[in-house]
Amino acid sequence: MNIAVVGSINMDLVYLVPHIVQAGETLHSTKHELFFGGKGANQAVTASQLGANVDFIGNVGADDFGELVKLNLQDKGVNTAAIQKVGLTGQAIIQLADSGENSIVLFPGANFLVTAEQIQADRERIEKSDVLLLQLEIPMAVVEAAANIAVEQGVHIILNPAPAQQISNSLLSKVSILTPNETELAILTNLKTETEEDLFQACSLLLQKGVGAVVVTLGEKGSYYLNQNERGHVQANQVEVKDTTGAGDAFNGALAVGMCRGNSLRESILYASKVAEYVVTQMGAQPAIPTYFRVNK
Ligand code: RIB
């Protein structure tokens, strides 16, 4: 199982708060913790913990956080040879409310300094992979450059379109599996995403644009999927939620592992859901994942 991740690496500065701060309000945080984060890094760490060989292409800052986040990836088994140090490490300032809701301010830092040239220089890492995992916390031109290399070599692309933004038809046509949440799906399609019929219409539009399959993550309502042959809904199990940060990333990392194992789309979604359900019971975006998840479940 060879997975390339081209994406973001952050330090997450998490503040526990009674509620998400309102405009003009000053609020005391009850606890502050640092966690390793960044959508790309979270997805890479999940896939690595589940037994995949993971190669990361991206940037950390030439600062103390940069050293720490890179060492963390190495500790978690991710190959960091193609990670460069430049500028300041990306940060996510995260308010985590008692209700479990969160709100995030992103400082992209070094993540926005990743270049298409850098991806070209490390293109073999993508070419030798079974799956390329992409998200949108790095410049869109870089995401497109990585996708072009993958498509030329027949490498499957899983694109997590987060944070939400518009995506060109050209990029969509190269994606094997697109994994929006409901909000991202609505922004991508300009359609409602409230009912199952809405989801079907919105996902169908993306299939018409050449996406291979769409998997919509619906939080506690599970997920909905559609490809040319099947559609379905996977229910979520009730768990005691501590922190939802990184749940979507764990889902994507595990989905990539499931597909690498040659499982069906539905089997891979069931597996990814179980991993994500575990992650929300733990604090931070990259909790240690129990080794029993390495066995195909
Ligand atoms: O998806 C969660 C991640 O989004 C956090 O780890 C934070 O770094 C932001 O990038």
State which amino acid sits at residue 171: L
SS3 content of the chain, % helix, strand, coil (to 5): 40, 25, 35
pLDDT surpassing 60 at residue 297: no
Q: Check: CB of residue 11 under 8 Å from CB of residue 89.
A: yes
What's the Cα-to-Cα distance from 14 to each of 43, 54, 117, 119, 263, rounded to whole Å? Answer: 19, 27, 33, 31, 36
Q: Domains of the chain, with CATH numbers?
A: 2-8+37-89+111-295 (3.40.1190.20)
Query: pLDDT tens digits for 42-53?
Result: 999 999 999 999
Q: Check: CB of residue 193 under 8 Å from CB of residue 182.
A: yes
Ligand 1, residue 37: give the atom nearest the CA. 6
Q: What percent of the chain has pLDDT over 90?
A: 94
Distance (Å, whole) CA 249 – CA 272: 10
Ligand 1, residue 162: give the atom nearest the CA. 1
Task: Compute the distance from residue 36 Cα to the ligand 1 centre, in Å.
Answer: 9
Q: Check: CB of residue 50 under 8 Å from CB of residue 22.
A: no
Ligand 1, residue 94: give the atom nearest the CA. 7
Distance (Å, whole) CA 8 – CA 281: 24
Query: pLDDT tens digits for 87-137?
Result: 999 999 999 998 878 899 999 999 999 999 999 999 999 999 999 999 999
- Which pLDDT band, with edges at 50, 70 and 90, does 295 fall under? confident
Q: What percent of the chain has pLDDT over 70?
A: 99
DSSP single-letter state for residue 13: E
- Please tell me the residue having the least CA distance from ligand 1 atom 10: 38
The residue-averaged pLDDT of 66-70 equals 98
Let me know if 63 is a catalytic residue: no
Query: pLDDT tens digits for 30-46?
Result: 999 999 999 999 999 99
DSSP single-letter state for residue 130: S
92 lines ligand 1 (CB under 6 A): yes
The confidence score (pLDDT) of residue 243 equals 87
Distance (Å, whole) CA 9 – CA 132: 16
The residue-averaged pLDDT of 19-24 equals 95
The two structure tokens encoding residue 213: 């399959």
CA-closest candidate to residue 223, choices 293, 291, 277: 277
The confidence score (pLDDT) of residue 115 equals 98
Q: Which single residue is written with the structure tokens 């308010």? A: 95
The confidence score (pLDDT) of residue 98 equals 87
Check 55, 122, 243, 249 and give the catalytic one: 249
The residue-averaged pLDDT of 229-233 equals 95
DSSP single-letter state for residue 235: P
The residue-averaged pLDDT of 238-262 equals 94
Task: Compute the distance from residue 195 Cα to the ligand 1 centre, in Å.
Answer: 27
